Amino acid sequence: MSRPIARVLTLLELLQSGGLRTVSELADRLGVDERTVRRYAGHLVDLDVPVESVRGRYGGYRLAPGYRMPPLMLNDDEALAVLLGLVAGRRSGLTTAMGTAGETAAAKIRRVLPERLRAGLDAVLATLAFTAPPGEEDPPDSAVLLPIADAVTRHRPISIRYTGADGRRSERTLHPHGIVAHSGRWYVAAADPEIGEDRTFRLDRIGGVRTLPGSFEPPAGTDPAQRVLTGLATAPYRHEVTLRVRGTAEQIHARLPAGIAIVEELPPPDDASAEAERWARVDLRVERLDWLPAVLASLDRPFVIERPDELRGLVEALAARLAHSARRTAPDA
């Protein structure tokens, strides 16, 4: 879509939002001069859009009352946001009560999208995995998400400009395996051929994506979601915590999600009875320890702290505070 046409449609969107818009305000929003705004308004009138011109010091443009914009004049980011919202709601159970409404709404949107955009969004939906309920973060830029999704489906290498957590910038060549949305953040699981390792990259830290010639063969049994969760759980943090907890991985993950903790169920000792409960090893890497005692208490399962010793003191302090509160009586009224 050429820039003048795109700006005319943007002008229509601004007027559709309601109210009177001054020419100077519209010129600023569109990045053009006031004369060009008047010309764009004339284009809309030529298309039978009822744009009203209001004269005077506080004049400008507005749409005639009762006018409704033709359906689904969405740009790439808007179409992506709508479809991802519907898919995320369905996969997380948020739209279960609506039956098939979310699914049929998504189908209607896809039918009227341009082929280029529809193919890109199909690639995103085919490669995307949700590992936790949606968070408050906005979807990534479509200029980043769409080419990465296309590269995943077509097994094409990509070059990205990346800014690390420490602020250092680099350009990397990746073999992307999948896109994962986890707790409001978006990641691409990929192989870095230069170092021969699998890596995880946050999409909001990617400044640009370029598809490279050639192709690659993805490894068998690749699970991008599990790679992202493992990467998050093993990322370097200030404290390394190791626990033994009596219970299954499912019971432990109810309070310590896979993105936080790695849980390995341990084999029972040789002399254990068939009815004996299993134990599991739990490894965490965290910046702070102060939140862990309350979480361990909420597990309501026996546990042993292997490291660090500092965590033992925090658990003992919490236990003492709880015991003190349990012994207290209400003050006399």
Same domain, 186 and 316: no
* pLDDT of amino acid 94: 47
Same domain, 116 and 159: yes
What is the residue-level pLDDT of the chain in tens, covering all 333 positions?
A: 446 777 888 888 788 777 888 888 888 888 899 899 989 988 888 877 888 888 877 678 888 876 665 555 566 677 777 777 666 666 555 444 444 566 666 666 666 667 777 777 777 767 777 665 555 555 678 788 888 888 988 899 999 999 887 778 889 999 988 888 776 678 888 888 888 888 888 888 998 899 999 999 887 767 777 777 676 666 666 788 999 999 888 888 888 877 678 899 988 766 555 556 789 999 988 878 888 999 999 988 999 999 999 999 999 999 999 998 988 887 764
* pLDDT of amino acid 45: 86
Same domain, 123 and 209: yes
Same domain, 102 and 208: yes
Long-range contacts of 185-189 (CB under 8 A, 24+ apart): 185/135, 185/137, 186/137, 186/139, 186/140, 186/145, 187/228, 187/231, 188/148, 188/152, 189/222, 189/224, 189/225, 189/227, 189/228, 189/231
Give the Cβ contact number of residue 207 at 10 Å: 14
User: DSSP characters for 3-57?
Assistant: HHHHHHHHHHHHHHT-S-B-HHHHHHHHTS-HHHHHHHHHHHHHTT--EEEE-ST
Tokens of residue 272, six digits: 């254990």
* Global confidence as pTM: 0.48
**What's the CATH code of the domain at 307?**
3.30.70.250
Q: Which residue range(s) make up the domain with 42?
A: 3-63
* pLDDT of amino acid 191: 86
Domains of the chain: total: 3
Whether 293 is covered by a domain: the verdict is yes
**What's the CATH code of the domain at 203?**
2.30.30.100
User: DSSP characters for 159-174?
Assistant: EEEEE-TTS-EEEEEE
Whether 333 is covered by a domain: the verdict is no
Look at residues 34, 144, 118, 17 and name the one whose alpha carbon lies nearest to residue 68: 17
Same domain, 46 and 160: no
Same domain, 199 and 87: yes
